[in-house]
A and B are shown apart, each in its own frame.
Chain A
């Protein structure tokens, strides 16, 4: 009987530790801020070129992540890319003349959308479109411009 009890305690300890480890992995190694981007209002923006932007890329303002990119598609009528974003509901006071730019985090980091607030009194709301946008910087174009600039001198 005593031995059975030791077995049960040992097993309990093992199972507890196992689930504890599972809990650690799920909560401590994955981003807890992943709920940003699941709830909130949706806005869109049109870009000439989205570069390497991916779905789930962060949308930031002043460097703070306030939302995520939820969809990237190409509009065949107006011949540019439409990026849909979800912004967390607590940030519902963004001026509607804010500017959206596709930026790169670090040299080899991923691309994200940076919003620069404008000065308008009306706010962005569900379904509104950011009118002022700045496309991603494509490194090849930049090098091409630089080289042709050097060549013409």
Chain B
């Protein structure tokens, strides 16, 4: 009984310590981010390429098929109420407000988050970070911040691309395969999607971008410098990102909808 209690306290202490480290790490990043943004834009462009441009394949493919399945499912459900004309609204609203930001964040964690975590983790394991410190180069500013900012910049753009492709996918299935009227598809969408809905999606994607990028660089930077440690950091990035993104999604929706 006493052992169990000590174990629980120990676990709680480790959890709180991790949370504290993450918070301090985030503050540290925020303090140095503006300076990097102005003085070393070249480094950030490189990371936007790595995180954003390199994620295009997965985003385009997944976006198209998510949109197509939405078109199929939406059509099947809506036609029971004789409302298949509302397919455009249904697809656009569910994508822009919910599926777009969340799925992009999960895919982003899987494609770019893991790459960031393992890259930084390997730098730690092969003592590259220590070598930089020896040369009086701050690895936070040189390595971590460009990767963090690259991810933060890429996420909203990837979400927008995902949404656009997915709406096209829904259009393809709904209008071309299932025979929903093309005019009704678009005009119902025009009438029912407001700029506020788009903004809600953008806010979500920015928050998710910060969360996923932060977790990835944090896990990589604090990984145990062994092969196993790097592997574990990569796994933790995906798992924790997925959990946090889905929890935050509910909170953000509740806050933005009210």
Residues on A close to B: CB < 8 A?
7-8, 10-11, 13-15, 17-22, 24-26, 28-34, 108
Contact = CB atoms under 8 A, between A and B. Distances in A.
Given A7-B45, A10-B49, A13-B53, A25 B194 contact: no
A-side interface mostly = helix
B101 interface: no
A25 B160 contact: yes
Decide if the interface of chain B is mainly helix, strand, loop or mixed. Answer: helix
B147 to A, nearest CB: 14
A26 B193 CA distance: 9
B15 interface: no
Contacts of A34: 194-195
Given A13-B53, A29-B189, A108-B83, A21 B163 contact: yes
B165 to A, nearest CB: 8
Given A14-B53, A34-B195, A29 B92 contact: yes
A115 B226 CA distance: 75
Interface of B: 45-46, 48-49, 52-53, 56, 81, 83, 92, 96, 154, 156-158, 160-161, 163-165, 167, 186, 189-191, 193-195, 197-198, 201-202
A32 B201 CA distance: 19
Contact of A14 (B48, B92, B202): B48
Contact of B49 (A14, A22, A28): A14
Contacts of A18: 52, 154, 156-158, 160-161
B7 to A, nearest CB: 47
Given A8-B45, A21-B157, A25-B160, A14 B52 contact: yes
Q: Which 6 A-B pairs have the closest CB atoms?
A: A18-B157, A21-B160, A14-B53, A21-B164, A31-B190, A22-B160
Contacts of A13: 53
Contacts of B154: 14, 18
B73 to A, nearest CB: 19
A20 B161 CA distance: 8
Contacts of A29: 92, 96, 167, 189-190, 193, 198
Nearest to B189: A29
23 contacts: A7-B45, A11-B48, A11-B52, A11-B53, A14-B48, A14-B53, A14-B56, A14-B154, A15-B48, A17-B157, A17-B161, A18-B157, A18-B160, A21-B157, A22-B156, A22-B157, A22-B202, A25-B201, A29-B189, A30-B190, A30-B193, A31-B193, A108-B81
